[in-house]
Amino acid sequence: MSSEDRHPPVAIDAAILALQARVGDRVRAARASKRISRRVLSETSGVSPRYLAQLEGGDGNISIGLLFRVADALDVSLEALVSACDLPADARRVGQAFADADPVIQARVRDLLSETTSRDSRLCLIGLRGAGKSTLGAAAAKALDVPFIELNRAIEAAGSMPIAEIMALYGAEGYRQLEADALDKIVAEQDRAIVAVAGGIVGEAKTFDRLLDRFHTVWVKTSPEEHMSRVRAQGDTRPMEGNPQAMAQLRLILTSREADYSRANAVLDTGGQSVDASLAGLLSLIEHHNFITKDLP
């Protein structure tokens, strides 16, 4: 910082006085909200009553270490005491609750507060293979006159080879990079689309977080038994061949991914439903949540 950018001493002194007063007010308010005396705060924080009195009076030249002790005893963040942003008490409580929440709750809060425009009218169907993502996604896209994209087909186009060859040549890491790139390409090129992704996309946290941020999402689910029977009905018997534990493994995979899948904006259970009934359910969810707005002329 050049000498011209520095604040004059008088301004710095005024800022320090304002900081001391702000910290004092917030400590006093936090103590009052917890309905504890200065003596109790002194005992829990290890800071003497004399220092606390000076601090609350705006005269305290307290060290960072002691202020941290006070903040910890009051169950507030150090930032909440010193920040120049004077948030209302309710906002501070919400901020502290968010900081203390587990990652799944934090993700849901971010989802609720995120700008709808970041997702435009892009909808992504997530879930295990066999739930009906591709069938329902294609039918819903046709009904709504928007493009339907299977992410694996986009990956194959980018890699100029089938998924099996991509995995054999580049491994899982290479596939995941192509997957992330294909997702970014859709975001860049499509404001309105329905996309179906592979169930394992939740295994790459950064890509999945980006997906949740830039797409409305529906978890298409069914029972493990229906997942397996639908895959076999598609002519793929690999999940069962020579593997008597296939169903148990499928249940384990579903259990391990359930917390991630549940971060979706909505859930569509296709268990025991016909394609027409499931499609009607998906279109109803899209309309109810306004996932895809009507394209104005």
CA–CA separation, 201 and 127 (whole Å): 9
**What are the structure tokens assigned to 175, written together?**
């596939």
pLDDT bracket for residue 87 (50, 70, 90): low
Annotate 25-78 with three-state secondary structure: HHHHHHHHHHCCCHHHHHHHHCCCHHHHHHHHCCCCCCCHHHHHHHHHHHCCCH
Q: Which of 119, 134, 120 is nearest to 195 (CA)?
A: 134
Query: Residue 236 pLDDT more than 90?
Result: no
Tell me the average pLDDT across 27-37: 88
- Cα distance between residue 60 and residue 33, in whole Å: 21
Query: What average pLDDT does range 156-184 have in this prediction?
Result: 91
With a cut of 70, say whether residue 227 has pLDDT above it: no
Q: In this structure, which amino acid lies at residue 89?
A: A
For residues 158 and 200, give the distance between their C-alpha atoms in angstroms, rounded to a whole number.
19
Supply the mean pLDDT for the chain: 84
What is the structure's pLDDT at 75?
A: 87
Per-residue pLDDT, 54: 86
Q: How far apart are CA 212 and CA 207, in angstroms?
A: 9
The pLDDT tens digits of the residues spanning 131-161 come to: 889 999 999 999 999 999 999 999 999 889 9
What domains can be seen in the chain, in order of their start residue? 9-100 (1.10.260.40), 108-289 (3.40.50.300)
- On the 0-12 / 13-18 / 19+ scale of CB atoms within 10 A, 216 is buried
Average pLDDT over residues 59-86: 81
How many Cβ atoms are within 10 Å of 13's Cβ, its own excluded?
Answer: 11
255-268: per-residue pLDDT in tens? 889 999 999 999 99
The confidence score (pLDDT) of residue 216 equals: 95
Q: What is the mean pLDDT of residues 11-35?
A: 83
